[in-house]
Amino acid sequence: MMKRFIFSLLYLLIRYCGVASLFRTCMAKKKLTVLVYHNPLVDVFEKHINYLSSRYNLVPLMDFIKAKRDRSWEMIPDYALAITFDDGWKENYELLPVFQKYNLRPTLFLTSQVINTERHFWWTACCNGDVERLKRIPNMQRLAELEKKYRYDQDKEYKGDRQALNVNEIEKMKDFVDFGLHTRYHPVLTQCTMEEKRDEIMAGKLELEEILGRRIEAFAYPNGDYDEECIHMLRECGLKIARTTDAGWNDINSNSYKLKVTGASDNGSITKLVAELTGIPRFFQYAGYHGNFNGLKNKPKL
């Protein structure tokens, strides 16, 4: 309760003491700001986009690929901001009218073995207190514990209770969004063996391309965790960019496989969103929990 109060006070101070305006002018003007959502409510998301569209130029994340390829940042406008979504929740389809209304082209990162099925995302099967612990153990041990304690199997179908987008929804969204890969089953890649990583990345890319009928060039690391082995595999299979959850902004010199974000809470207030656009809450989160003052997330430790 105290922690929530302190952060609420921090958000107010950032918004109304000029800090947010200063960061926007000094940090965001000539950079690409990237936000990551998961499963926001339609009305809250529209309020966010209404606010953002009056202060930023909303651009597709895929424009970053073109800018890097041509070594030209001129195609990226001042105060450029890209919207991304992780996982591929079925409710994302309800946001389509908002995308169309604001001429917004987000990138949706999909889990290839959960979309178009009635499977469940693994973290929804267990209690909240277990989720963070399970992220910090080897992948096979995580799956074994999920099966033993929660009777969860990542290939189990929950009839009549799907969580992810289906192909009909994806087909209707294809002209208005870009799609990227978020692995097959959403494991923490740094807890996977080399072969597990290869399966999640390379096989996932082929599966998603078959579902979508188009080439996939973008990737987002589940839980924001990655290592050099992951990056090597992304390059090897032709993925051009990868988004992390590290804090910061992006420019022509940014590592294409370590794109940074400033944050965004699915259903946060506008005041919280304004604060998150500075990157300050994410820097504090990583410095005090599982990262450092450079805004980089450390590999989870046992």
Q: What angle do CA 160, 163, 165 make, to 5 degrees?
A: 105
pLDDT score for 74: 94
pLDDT value of residue 300: 44
Mean of the per-residue pLDDT values of the chain? 93
In this structure, the number of other CB atoms found within 10 A of the CB of residue 6 comes to: 10
pLDDT above 70 (res 117): yes
- DSSP secondary structure string, 56-99? SEE--TTHHHHHHHHT--TTSPTTEEEEEEEE-BGGGGGGHHHH
* pLDDT at residue number 295: 55
For 182-227, what is each residue's pLDDT tens digit?
A: 999 999 999 999 999 999 999 999 999 999 999 999 999 999 999 9
Spatial contact of 72 and 48, defined as CB atoms under 8 Å apart: no
Cα–Cα dist 278/248, whole Å: 9
Q: At residue 114, what are phi and psi to the nearest 5 degrees?
A: -115, -40
Binning pLDDT at 50, 70 and 90, where does residue 294 land? low
The number of residues in the chain equals 302
Q: Is 2-119+157-290 a domain of CATH 3.20.20.370?
A: yes
Distance of CA 44 to the CA centre of its chain: 18
Residue 8: how many CB atoms within 10 A of its CB?
A: 14
* Tokens of residue 88, six digits: 């591929």
275 phi/psi in degrees, rounded to 5: -65, -40
Q: Which of 114, 90, 125, 97 is nearest to 181 (CA)?
A: 114
Tell me the CA distances in angstroms from 225 to 52, 57, 66, 187, one per residue in order.
27, 29, 25, 10
pLDDT at 298: 61
Per-residue pLDDT, 264: 87
| pLDDT (tens digit per residue) in 237-291 | 999 999 999 999 999 999 999 999 998 899 999 999 999 999 988 877 765 545 4
Locus of tokens 């304004």 = 274
Report the percentage of the chain scoring pLDDT > 70.
94
**Residue 293 pLDDT:** 47
* Dihedrals phi, psi of 218, to nearest 5 degrees: -120, 150
- Domains of the chain by residue range: 2-119+157-290
What distance in Å separates the CA atoms of residue 209 and residue 153, rounded to the nearest whole number?
A: 25
pLDDT tens for residues 246-257? 999 999 999 999
